Structure 1
Amino acid sequence: MHSMHLYSGSLLRAYRFHKYAGKYLCRQTSNKATDLMVEELFEGLCARNRTSLARSITLVETSNPDKKKLAQSLLSMVANNLKQQEEERNGAPVSFRIGLSGPPGAGKSTFIESLGKQLTATGHRLAVLAVDPSSSTTGGSLLGDKTRMPRLTVDPAAYIRPSPTRGHLGGVTRSTNETILLCELAGYDVIIVETVGVGQSEISVADMVDVFVLLMPPAGGDELQGLKRGIVELADVIVINKSDGDLVAAARRIQAEYLSALKFVRPRQAGWKPPVLRVSSRSGEGLAELWTALEGYRRQMTADGQLAARRRRQRAVWLWAQIQEAVVAAFRRDAVVSALLPRLEKDVRRGRLPPGAAADRLLD
């Protein structure tokens, strides 16, 4: 539409959404203090431009102090626009955020591709934020999720963004929650956050999504015992994948084990009992039933206000996560700390000084 080309030459300060032909268009007024690059990125997001989305995500992932200020300026505009969109929708969120976790070998990438193709075929626009583990020595990562989702990668209604964890605990990057906002403004109504593995450090995704899905292979009871307290208590939906061929019997058995275990687990959401479903990513069997269950969850949580309350709590969690990271970074940059840290850390490693005493001295 020609309206999308009316932005050039103006700088952003205030903006609102107008409904036209079922779509939201960004309007702007001037503010000379706003950086031109931020304006262009914002306009591109409103126009659903994939290149602008990729550049915006790269900006929010930066560690450069000057660029971080630009990123925060962009994110502030994005957040305000999304808030106004929600008001236009009577408080309904503009996207459905799905967290997906599971052990290696559960078939997460194949599952996402199969479910994603079904969603895009029915008119949804899907963003996949696939977090790759970083090397603890080099900081590099494989970033191979696009190669594992060949059909979804070329789907014009899907966007896949692999990002390295850079050693960040919780299985997600520090900027994952900000990337979600960018994808929402770019028009993606379903967002899947795929996390690294499963374990006690993988639960951060539950604090940035609407529903947490645990994907499991048809494995034995040992895995169940190891996961029950760490992850199962966080799951809103449990999915047994690879339920096809010779594995159908094993999938049914593990499904029964999880159903039995959930009887002793307190549900995270009032009025919602986590279902345990079997699917085959290879044949597509069970995926339609899974999506029906997820939509049912969304409707129920939206109707009774639990989804809105959950997102409010999550924003507070994000705030404190950012504060903690910023405080630790500032602590390490302090001149006195930098001078004392090597010696005190050496004493702690050799057992000459208790870690608590060393920490107190550095903090003082």
Structure 2
Amino acid sequence: MPINKTVSLSSGFLKLFLFSLLLLFKQIILANKKEHTSSLHEKPGVSQPEFISSSAVKQVQKFRKKQPSAQELIEGILSGKTSALSRAITLVESTNVNHLAKANEVITACLPHANKSIRIGITGVPGVGKSTFIESFGNHLTSLGKKVAVLAVDPSSTISHGSILGDKTRMEELVKDPNAFIRPSASGETLGGVARKTREAITLCEAAGFDTILIETVGVGQSETAVHGMVDFFLLLKISGAGDELQGIKRGIMEMADAIVINKADGDNIKKANLAKAEFNRALHLFPTKKSGWKPTTTTCSALTHEGIPEIWKTIEQYVEFAKTNHYFIENRKEQNQYWLLETINEQLKTNFYNHPEIQKLLDATKKAVRNGEFSPFAAAQLLLNIYHDYKK
């Protein structure tokens, strides 16, 4: 046999052998994959030690499932227990009509112990650094001996209606502070950058002994300003390059701000932040005088380096002293209470309407009729409202 032919045959056998190994290797991989079909498969954890009592485990599980009474929640809140505070806020936020009476009992009992805090609303466009700022600001406040409650509102998806509620992940230090309480809530269908029951959550936090309430809104635009109606001081966070004097003409969120803070004033961005500060200062001259008589301030800060954070708190203290001296502080809270009276009525009417048995029976059919063009939306709405009123009689 010629040498070239022998070499060719050897090369062919070698390729066949390698191909067979490759097939065998793939079969092994596929066999392993069949055992773990989920990409989220977890390795077996550490087994429970033998000395753990099964009855003790059942008791703990039973305790966790047990719903505390209204009185237990009230006593827990007034004694400063954050676990009771968390459960009370969850109760208040519940849309279950069966929880309404219990929630009202808790809030009513906490009201005499509320109204002893400074309420600060913090808002700004997405990406401005609200959560990072709040952690830096909150750490500064707790270092001064303050008890800080953070009510962080996350936007809800209009598609899945879910919310990440991930603000705590950005506040790694503050969440471990014993003098701080962080409660994320979903905005749901509520406009204005706040959650449906943020006002009630403020009352519960104040009753639990928190003297400084920080409300972080969702990333808001010019007209979403509901948070302004529940706080004493309204802080607007900005970043350089986000606007100029033209913003002063827009009668929106900037007009309501008691202070404008240019965040991320660090590194190469310091010069840009100072330019933005000058721009917004010029814009403030276009605003009418605020009802409180306070002249809004503009400053820069860095939530990363903590530069400018103490000065912001000093500004808030100056504002509170100013507003209490001219009696605007109390009058403003009285007006806010009137506003939330009307908001609560609107919310309760809406809840009662959609939870009415007859409306629940007819709503899907009515929506289908409107969708098919058999009824106009206005006629269908009037029909449902008439049915609701007739049954209420």
Please classify the TM superposition score into its range, dividing by the shorter chain length.
0.7 to 0.9
Which runs of 5 or more structure 1 residues have no equivalent in the other structure? 1-34, 83-92
Q: Which residue of 2 aligns with 1:80?
A: 112
Q: Is structure 2 residue 101 aligned with structure 1 residue 69?
A: yes
Q: Is structure 2 residue 308 aligned with structure 1 residue 286?
A: yes
Counterparts of 1:268 and 1:99 in 2: how far apart (Å)? 17
Q: Is structure 2 residue 156 aligned with structure 1 residue 134?
A: yes
Match of 2:170 among 135, 145, 148: 148
Partner of 2:382: helix, strand, or coil? helix
Q: Which residue of 1 aligns with 2:325?
A: 303
Q: Is structure 2 residue 143 aligned with structure 1 residue 111?
A: no
Q: CA deviation at 1:137?
A: 2.6
Q: 1:76 to 1:352 in 2, by over 3 A?
A: same
Decide whether the 8 Å contact of 1:199 with 1:227 is kept in 2: no
Decide whether the 8 Å contact of 1:233 with 1:265 is kept in 2: yes
> How does the TM-score come out when normalised to structure 1?
0.82
Q: 1:244 to 1:156 in 2, by over 3 A?
A: same
Counterparts of 2:377 and 2:184 in 1: how far apart (Å)? 37
Match of 2:228 among 177, 193, 206: 206
Counterparts of 2:205 and 2:78 in 1: how far apart (Å)? 10
* Deviation digits for residues 77-114 of structure 1 (CA, Å, limit 9, x no counterpart): 100233xxxxxxxxxx4100000110011000110011
Cα-Cα RMSD: 2.3
Q: Which residue of 1 aligns with 2:216?
A: 194
One-letter amino acid of the structure 2 residue matched with residue 289 of structure 1? E
Q: 1:138 to 1:252 in 2, by over 3 A?
A: same
Q: 1:344 to 1:66 in 2, by over 3 A?
A: closer
Decide whether the 8 Å contact of 1:267 with 1:274 is kept in 2: no
Counterparts of 2:340 and 2:162 in 1: how far apart (Å)? 25
Match of 1:228 among 233, 236, 250: 250
Decide whether the 8 Å contact of 2:153 with 2:217 is kept in 1: yes
Q: Is structure 2 residue 391 aligned with structure 1 residue 359?
A: no
Decide whether the 8 Å contact of 2:128 with 2:263 is kept in 1: yes
Which runs of 5 or more structure 2 residues have no equivalent in the other structure? 1-66, 387-393
Counterparts of 1:47 and 1:305 in 2: how far apart (Å)? 31
One-letter amino acid of the structure 1 residue matched with residue 206 of structure 2? E
* Deviation digits for residues 144-192 of structure 1 (CA, Å, limit 9, x no counterpart): 1100000101011111101111222121111111111111111111100
Q: 1:282 to 1:323 in 2, by over 3 A?
A: same
Match of 1:259 among 271, 277, 281: 281
Q: CA deviation at 1:253?
A: 1.5
Q: Is structure 2 residue 78 aligned with structure 1 residue 46?
A: yes
Match of 2:271 among 245, 249, 257: 249
- Percent identical among aligned pairs is 45
Q: 1:81 to 1:189 in 2, by over 3 A?
A: closer
Highest Rg: 1 or 2?
2
Q: Quick check: 143-152 or 334-343, which moved more?
A: 334-343
Partner of 1:202: helix, strand, or coil? coil
Q: Quick check: 348-357 or 100-109, which moved more?
A: 348-357
One-letter amino acid of the structure 2 residue matched with residue 59 of structure 1? L
Q: Which residue of 1 aligns with 2:203?
A: 181
Counterparts of 2:372 and 2:245 in 1: how far apart (Å)? 37
Counterparts of 1:187 and 1:310 in 2: how far apart (Å)? 22
Q: Which residue of 1 aligns with 2:262?
A: 240
Q: 1:282 to 1:227 in 2, by over 3 A?
A: farther
Q: CA deviation at 1:42?
A: 1.4
Counterparts of 1:63 and 1:134 in 2: how far apart (Å)? 16
Counterparts of 1:352 and 1:252 in 2: how far apart (Å)? 60
Counterparts of 2:249 and 2:236 in 1: how far apart (Å)? 10
Q: Which residue of 2 aligns with 1:55?
A: 87
One-letter amino acid of the structure 2 residue matched with residue 331 of structure 1? F
Partner of 1:246: helix, strand, or coil? helix
Counterparts of 2:355 and 2:89 in 1: how far apart (Å)? 26
Q: CA deviation at 1:230?
A: 2.0
